[in-house]
């Protein structure tokens, strides 16, 4: 770019010297009019070259290093992104298998839990049935005892009324002992 700019300025100054050296009217400038300025210009360019040579080298070396670091960082980020993409693809490929395994384990756990609940319910039902049977048996025994007592009481009352109706002194004593003996047998059963 610099060479193009310098060459185009040199071409303009050679092709149209009046534009480059804007001189007084009536004087046609020539290239020879500029020879006196060339040594000064070349000396100026040489001094600038020696003075600015090291800063330009450092600037371009630093700039090159920055660009190299940016390219390397981009390459590292690209590798990391490709690695993450590959991991995501692997995870996605395994996802169906993992979902199937999760469903299977959930179904197995649900089956085990339902079996546990069923067995607990069966045990509870058996305990309730057993308690009901025990309660029924107890109620039957209590009812039987109550009925026996009532029957015995009724028999005693009937016997007493019969005895009172048929009582005489000799008879009375024998009948009482027979009745009391019969009652004792009934109560023991």
Q: What pLDDT sits at residue 39?
A: 87
Q: What is the DSSP code string of 154-175? A: HHHHHHHHHHHHH--HHHHHHH
Domain ranges of the chain: 145-188
Say how far apart CA 135 and CA 142 lie, in whole Å: 10
Is pTM beyond 0.75? Reply is no
Q: What pLDDT sits at residue 63?
A: 93
Structure confidence by residue, pLDDT tens digits, 131-186: 888 888 888 888 888 888 888 888 888 877 776 776 665 666 676 677 777 766 66
Say how far apart CA 127 and CA 129 lie, in whole Å: 5
């Amino acid at each position: 770019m610099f060479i193009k700019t310098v060459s185009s300025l040199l071409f303009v100054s050679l092709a149209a010297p009046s534009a480059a050296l804007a001189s007084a009217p009536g004087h046609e400038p020539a290239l020879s009019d500029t020879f006196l300025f060339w040594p000064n210009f070349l000396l100026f360019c040489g001094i600038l070259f020696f003075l600015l040579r090291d800063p330009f080298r450092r600037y371009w070396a630093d700039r090159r290093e920055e660009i190299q670091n940016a390219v390397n960082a981009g390459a590292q980020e690209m590798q990391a992104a490709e690695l993450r993409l590959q991991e995501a693809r692997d995870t996605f490929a395994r996802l169906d298998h993992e979902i199937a395994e999760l469903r299977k384990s959930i179904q197995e756990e649900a089956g085990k839990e339902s079996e546990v609940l069923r067995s607990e319910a069966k045990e509870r039902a058996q305990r309730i049935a057993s308690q009901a049977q025990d309660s029924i048996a107890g109620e039957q025994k209590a009812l039987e005892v109550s009925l026996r007592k009532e029957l015995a009481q009724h028999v005693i009352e009937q016997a007493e009324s019969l005895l009172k109706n048929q009582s005489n002194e000799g008879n009375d004593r024998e009948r009482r002992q027979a009745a009391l003996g019969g009652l004792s047998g009934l109560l023991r059963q």
